[in-house]
Amino acid sequence: MLNGYGSTIVDGAWLTLLLALTSMAVAILLGLLGAAFRLSPIKWLALLGDAYATVIRGIPDLVLILLIFYGGQDIVNRVAPMLGYEDYIEIDAFAAGVGTLGFIFGAYLSETFRGAFMAIPKGQGEAGAAYGMSGVQVFFRILVPQMIRFAIPGFTNNWLVLTKATALISVVGLQDMMFKAKSAADATREPFTFYLAVAALYLVLTSVSLLALRFLEKRYSVGVKAAEL
């Protein structure tokens, strides 16, 4: 299939999926942290969280990717000799991709999570505190499980955007399906065929995600009565 390039593109597709999933895991951690910061009563923490969300969301993904991948590598290699480290340090494209996408989408998710936390009735957290739970316990036992339901629609959106943003990591040399398609296109001079194949694969990925997350939303809303019009 595809002049024998079919299997390499499928390999690339697995890497794309792996990149998306790993980045999302990082993004969820950073998003929770960001949301906790922004909702914190401690002023400078809230300010720090707000700055993170505002600055990252105001800069294009591509610029951040180039900045972190090339710029980050550059800075690391400028600082390293001062610390007595002489070898050239090369950052792995996959690790850089995960770090960058995680960092970017952490900012977007912090916004989603913040809104979801605020949607939880205040009494819930107060009741937890009344039972003698610590702040951390209230956060993980009471707030997070309830927040998930409110966060799913925004999360779905962010996941879809992130999946599509993985294509940009091919620009810094990660051999994902976009990169593989480009090599195949250059070799066979049939760019349309290969980019169309990649587009179809992305469409499958986003369609499956949509269905799965819709199912998840139903699961988390089982105990909630929908108002009928």
Partner 1 sequence: MILDFSVIWENLPLYFNGVLVTLKLLLISLAVGLTVAVPLALMRVSRQPAVNFPAWLYTYVIRGTPMLVQLFLIYYGLAQFAAVRESFLWPYFSNATFCACLAFAINTSAYTAEILAGSLKATPHGEIEAAKAVGMSRFKLYRRILLPSALRRALPQYSNEVIMMLHTTSLASIVTLVDITGAARTVSSQYYLPFEAYITAGVFYLCLTFVLVRLFKRAERRWLGYMAPRKA
Q: At what angle do helices 144-165 and 191-220 cross, to 10 degrees?
A: 170
Q: Sketch the per residue contact string, 79 through 118, with partner 1: x for CB under 8 A, - otherwise.
A: x---------------------------------------
Contact string 163-182 vs partner 1 (x = CB under 8 A): -xxxxx-xx------x---x
> What's the chain's length in residues?
229
Please report how close the Cβ of residue 188 comes to partner 1 at its closest, in angstroms.
9
Q: Is 154 in the site for partner 1 (CB under 8 A)?
A: no
Structure tokens at 174: 């990660």
> Distance between CA 30 and CA 227 in Å, rounded?
34
CB-side neighbour CA atoms (13 Å) of 67? 11
Letter string b/e over residues 63-91, b meaning 16 or more CB atoms within 10 A of that residue's CB: ebbbebbeeebeeeeeeeeeeeeeeeeeb
Closest distance of CB 229 from partner 1, Å: 11
Shortest distance (Å) from residue 203 CB to partner 1: 5
CA dist., res. 144 & res. 151, Å (int): 10
Q: How far is the CB of 191 from partner 1 (least distance, A)?
A: 4
Residue with Cβ nearer partner 1 (45 or 167): 167
Residue type, 154: G
Q: Does 61 bind partner 1 (CB under 8 A)?
A: yes
Q: Of 15, 107, 116, 185, which lies in the binding site for partner 1, with binding defined by CB under 8 A?
A: 185
Which residue, 225, 214, 209, is CA-closest to 24?
209
Sketch the per residue contact string, 190 through 209, with partner 1: x for CB under 8 A, - otherwise: xxxx-xx-xx--xx--xx--
Question: Which segments of 40-92 does DSSP mark as H helices, in order?
Answer: 43-57, 61-66, 72-79
Question: C-beta of 219: minimal distance to partner 1 in Å?
Answer: 23
Report the interface residues with partner 1, using CB under 8 A: 55, 58-64, 66-67, 70-75, 78-79, 160, 164-168, 170-171, 178, 182, 185, 189-193, 195-196, 198-199, 202-203, 206-207
